[in-house]
Structure 1
Amino acid sequence: MTATHLAEQAAETRTALVTGGTSGIGLACARRLQADGLRVAVLDLDRPEARAVAERHGLAFVPADLSDRAQTVAAVARAAEALGGLDVLVNNAGFQHIEAIASFPEDTWDAMLHVMLTAPFLLIKHAWPYLSRSGQGRVVNVASIHARVASPFKAAYVSAKHGLIGLTRTAALEGAEVGVTVNAVCPAYVRTPLVERQMQDQARTRGISVQEVEERVMLESAAIKRLLEADDVAGLVSYVVGRGAWGMTGAVLDLDLGWTAR
């Protein structure tokens, strides 16, 4: 067997857990990693539609509510058992809540920070033994351009995403000694069901068309006037977890349509 065949065989046995993996960016990442030859589990809320998506695409399904500490911790062992190990963790799950700081519900703040910052910490912590044994452990935190810049009415979201960059860099330094790389990707607005709903909501409240919301709101700060697609983010994640990116760790990779170039 040639060295190339051995490498391909090894790639086929790698395993990955993608959170928020049954829709949008998460599903695109799961399917891309699956196409790359990895065995993939997707974590999402225990809903019939989420289970159906996983089954339809041949993905192992790990039900968990990431706002719940015990479920978050247990999910790692469940994923490792289903896959026979864990080489790659993609922290993607999250949600949006748009409201001014003065009126922001405190329980919503707590839930958002748990899902988007505490849960990635817990997942990394409890996946660490598997990732370090792997010899090719990879963590990718799907952040956002709002990990780089702020926007009004996104206090919890921006705070969590900024914190995720700090977690990424710290874990990268600690992981270097055990062969685990940790990186973050920061996309601008991506055309997902969540963003489509946001545009429809803003069109109603502003009294303009969805197309005008896309052009005048979502893409106002972008140099490239076009929304990203979920597959664009998945392609970057695929590279980051691949063998060619072995020397990349602690990186914060902007896929931001030129948003921060100004």
Structure 2
Amino acid sequence: MRGLKDRVVVVTGAAGGIGRAICRRFIDEGVRVVALDVNADALKDFAAGLAASDHQLLCVTADITNYGEVKEAIERGVAKFSKLDILVNNAGWDVAAPFLQTEPDLWDKIIAINLKGPLNLHKAALPHLIAAGGGKVVNVASDAGRVGSSGESVYSACKGGLIAFSKTIARECARDNVCVNVVCPGPTDTALLRSFVGEGEYGQKIYEGLKRAIPLKRLGQPDDLPGLIAFLSSDDANFITGQVVSVSGGLTMNS
């Protein structure tokens, strides 16, 4: 991709399946990565498996629902690499259940991680992108935020909110040469999906049913996302902002 080498990116949820794939792609493109995750052990395992040099990777344990921790993490990244060019909000979390079987404490946690977390990252990171003369933001939402998803009511609301928020920030920051776009994964074979469908025969039936419903006849894989994210972060996407792209194998299609 044009213009990625030696840029600096912050990636949240870096130790998860999709996060690891994103970070690997950026490192392959010569990007310096600030990898954020709330799970210190998973982050350590991720860093060991990545085998990236110290001058290309900084791992920071941070809770994205805590603005103070987010701001400190961003400042550490800028202090190490002297700048920030790209923000990728990838972290997400959910528990599958019909809305009427959920309680406000669960809503609060889902909202804090999936909506407030990205807001915290934008608040802390955007001033650095603007100061650098521009940059890229890629927010990983979900097709659940575009079309809804049974059992994911509050999560869908958060991802829909993130889509609307992204379009607004794209408008507000266009004058500062900051491009903001959204990637919406469809059903993707991650730990989150496995927890959603459950284990055993019933879970396998749901899993197979999802595959049959997707025109490409397979679930998404973590490696299906980084190419688009890298493109939207590159100079090849300098005239693209405020857009929402689904990566769903054709399960959802825009007219």
The TM-score with structure 2 as length reference comes to 0.90
> What are the superposed Cα offsets for residues 25-58 of structure 1, whole Å, 9 maximum, x if unpaired?
1111111011111100110014223223124422
Does the 8 A contact of 2:12 with 2:37 survive in 1?
yes
* Structure 1 stretches lacking a partner, 5+ long: 1-6
Query: What is the CA-CA distance between 1:155 and the residue it aligns to?
Result: 1.4
The CA distance in 2 between the partners of 1:244 and 1:44, in whole Å, is 28
Moved more, 247-256 or 132-141: 132-141
Query: What is the CA-CA distance between 1:136 and the residue it aligns to?
Result: 4.1
Query: What is the CA-CA distance between 1:220 and the residue it aligns to?
Result: 5.1
Query: What is the CA-CA distance between 1:99 and the residue it aligns to?
Result: 1.5
The CA distance in 2 between the partners of 1:99 and 1:213, in whole Å, is 15
Structure-2 change in CA distance of 1:18 and 1:124 (3 Å):
same
| 1:16 corresponds to | 9
> What are the superposed Cα offsets for residues 51-85 of structure 1, whole Å, 9 maximum, x if unpaired?
23124422311111123232233222122223321
| 2:229 corresponds to | 237
Moved more, 240-249 or 57-66: 57-66
Query: What is the CA-CA distance between 1:132 and the residue it aligns to?
Result: 1.2
| 2:208 corresponds to | 215
Indicate which of 68, 84, 87 corresponds to 1:86.
Answer: 84
- Read off the aligned partner of 2:36 and give its amino acid letter: L
The CA distance in 2 between the partners of 1:100 and 1:209, in whole Å, is 16
| 2:116 corresponds to | 118
Query: What is the CA-CA distance between 1:133 and the residue it aligns to?
Result: 2.3
Structure-2 change in CA distance of 1:89 and 1:102 (3 Å):
same
Does the 8 A contact of 1:40 with 1:83 survive in 2?
no
Does the 8 A contact of 1:42 with 1:54 survive in 2?
no
Secondary structure in 1 aligned to 2:84? coil
Indicate which of 68, 73, 78 corresponds to 2:66.
Answer: 68
Moved more, 84-93 or 57-66: 57-66
Does the 8 A contact of 2:12 with 2:91 survive in 1?
yes
The CA distance in 2 between the partners of 1:46 and 1:227, in whole Å, is 26
Query: What is the CA-CA distance between 1:173 and the residue it aligns to?
Result: 0.5
Secondary structure in 1 aligned to 2:150? coil
Moved more, 138-147 or 70-79: 70-79
> What are the superposed Cα offsets for residues 166-208 of structure 1, whole Å, 9 maximum, x if unpaired?
1110010011100100000011111223323444x1x43xx44
Q: How many residue pairs were aligned?
A: 249
Does the 8 A contact of 1:141 with 1:185 survive in 2?
yes
- Read off the aligned partner of 2:67 and give its amino acid letter: R
Secondary structure in 2 aligned to 1:261? coil
The TM-score with structure 1 as length reference comes to 0.88
Matches within 5 A, 1:91-240: 91-199=89-197, 201=198, 203-204=199-200, 207-208=201-202, 210=204, 212-216=205-209, 218-219=210-211, 221-240=213-232
Indicate which of 37, 47, 52 corresponds to 2:45.
Answer: 52
Moved more, 132-141 or 233-242: 132-141
Please give the root-mean-square deviation of Cα atoms over the aligned residues, in Å. 2.0
Structure-2 change in CA distance of 1:15 and 1:153 (3 Å):
same
Matched, 1:248 2:246: no
Secondary structure in 2 aligned to 1:228? coil
- Read off the aligned partner of 2:149 and give its amino acid letter: S
Query: What is the CA-CA distance between 1:209 and the residue it aligns to?
Result: 6.3
Indicate which of 17, 21, 26 corresponds to 2:19.
Answer: 26
- Read off the aligned partner of 1:252 and give its amino acid letter: V
Does the 8 A contact of 2:95 with 2:196 survive in 1?
no
Secondary structure in 2 aligned to 1:141? strand
Does the 8 A contact of 1:16 with 1:89 survive in 2?
yes
